[in-house]
Structure 1
Amino acid sequence: MGQPQTLTRGARITGSFTAALIALISAGWIVRDLYEAESAEPLWRLWTGLAPQVQLALYSSLMDLVLFLVGAAVAVTAVRSPSAASSLVAAGVLAIAGRAPSVWLLMEEERFRVIDIRVRLLAGAAATVGLGLILLLLAAFGRRPVGESATYSYTFDDEREPPRPTNAAAATAFIFLGAAAAVSGAWQVHHALDLGWRPYRELLVGDASLTSALDPPVGWLVWAAALFALVAAVSALQHASFSRALGMTAAVVYLVFGAAGISWIVETDRFDGLFDAPLEVQLDVLSQLFYALAGAVSLLVLFRGREGRGEPAYGTYGGWDPADGTYGPPPPSSPPPGW
């Protein structure tokens, strides 16, 4: 079994700065759209799949909100958190998966010729993908053995092994995240069988489902979220050291998009006459409610349900531990006479 590793101080600072840039890029588009719309209501309607009541040039999407929340959280915690490496991986994968479709779609000038800031949108999306790759590289190559460069006598947070989920938190996250992944994946299989491959392909990698220029295709988004949640669920069940960061990131995705789905249901009056509606409509409503519930529950249990920090990952404080169990002066001092 290899020696536990942690991120170097330089990798932590660079990762924090990189995550902050991801958050700032997304925040920039949100602020720009808020200024254009003059209130949050038209923007939220757009994010939830409803047409704004007035014609506006809005470009951000709900993915911008998710990237901002996750990027900001990682930027704040990466410098000191023992889970910094897994947090960088989670944020990096999210940035790449959430923005890669915007890159290939916005590269088609003919498709988006009516958008006067297409180049800026493309540059922002490409920058986010590049920053996501940097986070993955930092997590992979910015490591050192725990305690290798520590010159202090006491172990700080970044010198400890990442806390693993408790048994209850792991089981709960596995059930809710696994079920959310299964439900969302089942819906996509249903749509593929119902529509046929050619129309479904547009939902997967095309612009048929886009509500804004920075909105990822719905099929791509759902499959990416389902795979992410499934990996997080299995890793939580195995008490993997990276499971809390992955699980909380997946939970944020399902919580935000589930809340948007509930908002869409309310605005379209789907709750009215729900018991008399077709079975597919009932299942769709229940699915949106479950996504929000699964995200909220998983986020809460993984955030609060972590094992005790225990001993430092590389041994006792200061690295000295007498064989007889008694503690004299630390080396190289000698015990006093008669010790």
Structure 2
Amino acid sequence: MGETQILGRGGRVAGSVVSSLLAAVLLGWVIRDLTVGGPDGLWWHWAGEAAGYGLRPSAYTAGQDVLLLVVYAVVAVKVMRSAAAAALLAATGALTVVLRLPATVGLVQAADGGDLFGGPHPGALATTAGSVLGGLVLIVLAAAGRRPAGPQEAAAPPGRASAAWAGVLLLSGGAVVLAWQVYAAVNHGWERYATLFFGTGSPQRSVLLGATGWQTATLAGFALLAGVVCLKRGRGARGLGVLAAVQLGGVNALIVSAYLEGPVYEQFPLLDTDSQLALVTPPVLCVLAAVALVLLLPRPAPENAGPYGPGPAPWQAPAPGPYGNPGADSGR
């Protein structure tokens, strides 16, 4: 079954404008970091931040910011003509709020301690707080801007097989990410893991995002939620699944690039089993996300498709050869 309600034109225009503003602000930060660190240095920072490498305080964006920039740009365009526009806005808004809120709290605490002023920090606080507000606006637009869908406007969900396989892949990816988080908590101890998760008492690798543990947990939760929605073929299954696959695959692609730059994989035979599994996990998650993305991407409908496939029904098709153009004696 398709969507019973769709987003009205006013909600689509407003959602596109908000998404465009979020993308423009984030693009400004990326350009700022490019002018400071250069393309190579900035890419290494993005990949190293995703892989948990050293801190480069000269950069304010992270790999997740780049993925959010892509999401904002795509949603700003797709929301104007997609039947699943409401689901796209709601998912984008929720993801924005969850990722930006911890950084906003951290920057407010820095302001209370007198460490905020100077450099781009005031702009960073304005960016994170404004992004949280923008995410909330997207959620409100998705909820309040709906209207009943017409007979030709309902969004068709992905096929049963495609949705089921995509759901299984996203659930598997989210479960793997969550399992590694539990392993880290047990291995490091819950107290130390809480410090890594919430980022308390230590400088953050990302100014515009929360601690890396929070980012990873958000990624796992988003993939698990999208997997459940895809399995149920619920509202917005395609849009939510595509966003989750992009996030899951993009983050792990950055990690793989950091490992290749290391080069970490050259030491693979010398590592213990747990370390080998940790190195194998990112490329496997990239493959899972890529396959889920392919399964969920909409396919163009064939022209003049009927219940028997493209073209006319079998009894309407002309017969081959001379029988396709009967003469005067036909029917005798």
Give the TM-score taking structure 2 as reference length.
Answer: 0.83
User: How far apart are 1:115 and its partner, in Å?
Assistant: 5.5
The separation in 2 between residues aligned to 1:292 and 1:105, in whole angstroms, is 31
User: How far apart are 1:305 and its partner, in Å?
Assistant: 5.8
**Structure 1 residues 225, 111: closer, same or farther in 2, change over 3 A?**
farther
User: How far apart are 1:241 and its partner, in Å?
Assistant: 2.9
User: How far apart are 1:188 and its partner, in Å?
Assistant: 0.6
3-state SS of the aligned residue for 1:48?
helix
The separation in 2 between residues aligned to 1:87 and 1:221, in whole angstroms, is 20
Identify which of 250, 260, 270 aligns with 1:266. 260
The separation in 1 between residues aligned to 2:302 and 2:182, in whole angstroms, is 41
1:189 is aligned to 2:182: yes
The separation in 2 between residues aligned to 1:105 and 1:173, in whole angstroms, is 36
The separation in 2 between residues aligned to 1:115 and 1:267, in whole angstroms, is 33
Q: Which amino acid aligns with 1:264?
A: A
User: How far apart are 1:163 and its partner, in Å?
Assistant: 2.0
**Structure 1 residues 251, 59: closer, same or farther in 2, change over 3 A?**
same
Identify which of 133, 136, 139 aligns with 1:133. 136
1:122 is aligned to 2:125: yes
Identify which of 136, 143, 146 aligns with 2:146. 143
Q: Which residue of 1 aligns with 2:41?
A: 42
**Structure 1 residues 6, 47: closer, same or farther in 2, change over 3 A?**
same
The separation in 2 between residues aligned to 1:209 and 1:164, in whole angstroms, is 44
- Structure 2 gaps, min length 5: 306-332
The separation in 1 between residues aligned to 2:296 and 2:154, in whole angstroms, is 16
1:222 is aligned to 2:225: no
Q: Are 2:157 and 2:238, in contact at CA under 8 Å, matched by a contact in 1?
A: yes
Matches within 5 A, 1:1-339: 4-37=4-37, 39-49=38-48, 50-51=53-54, 57-109=58-110, 110=113, 112-113=115-116, 116-147=119-150, 160-206=153-199, 208=202, 210-304=204-298
Q: Are 1:178 and 1:229, in contact at CA under 8 Å, matched by a contact in 2?
A: yes
- Structure 1 gaps, min length 5: 148-154, 312-339
**Structure 1 residues 117, 310: closer, same or farther in 2, change over 3 A?**
farther
User: How far apart are 1:51 and its partner, in Å?
Assistant: 4.6
The separation in 2 between residues aligned to 1:144 and 1:309, in whole angstroms, is 29
Q: Which amino acid aligns with 1:101?
A: P
Q: Which amino acid aligns with 1:71?
A: Y
**Paired-residue identity, %:** 33
User: How far apart are 1:116 and its partner, in Å?
Assistant: 2.3
**Structure 1 residues 93, 164: closer, same or farther in 2, change over 3 A?**
same
Deviations 1:165-197 (A, max 9, x none): 112321221221111111100011111111222
Q: Which amino acid aligns with 1:78?
A: V
The separation in 1 between residues aligned to 2:122 and 2:288, in whole angstroms, is 37
Q: Are 2:67 and 2:250, in contact at CA under 8 Å, matched by a contact in 1?
A: yes
Q: Which amino acid aligns with 1:247?
A: G
The separation in 2 between residues aligned to 1:240 and 1:84, in whole angstroms, is 14
**Structure 1 residues 60, 173: closer, same or farther in 2, change over 3 A?**
same
**Structure 1 residues 246, 307: closer, same or farther in 2, change over 3 A?**
farther
The separation in 1 between residues aligned to 2:144 and 2:258, in whole angstroms, is 43
User: How far apart are 1:56 and its partner, in Å?
Assistant: 6.7
Q: Which residue of 2 aligns with 1:150?
A: none
3-state SS of the aligned residue for 1:82?
coil
Query: Number of residue pairs matched?
Result: 298
**Structure 1 residues 176, 19: closer, same or farther in 2, change over 3 A?**
same
User: How far apart are 1:142 and its partner, in Å?
Assistant: 0.8
User: How far apart are 1:43 and its partner, in Å?
Assistant: 0.7
Q: Normalized per residue, which structure has more helix?
A: 2
The separation in 1 between residues aligned to 2:300 and 2:162, in whole angstroms, is 8
Q: Which amino acid aligns with 1:103?
A: T
Q: Which amino acid aligns with 1:138?
A: L
Q: Are 1:244 and 1:303, in contact at CA under 8 Å, matched by a contact in 2?
A: yes
User: How far apart are 1:253 and its partner, in Å?
Assistant: 0.7
**Structure 1 residues 13, 309: closer, same or farther in 2, change over 3 A?**
farther
**Structure 1 residues 111, 242: closer, same or farther in 2, change over 3 A?**
farther
**Structure 1 residues 113, 248: closer, same or farther in 2, change over 3 A?**
same
Q: Are 1:163 and 1:307, in contact at CA under 8 Å, matched by a contact in 2?
A: no
Q: Are 2:107 and 2:116, in contact at CA under 8 Å, matched by a contact in 1?
A: no
Give the TM-score taking structure 1 as reference length.
Answer: 0.81
Deviations 1:131-160 (A, max 9, x none): 00000000111111224xxxxxxx7xxx51
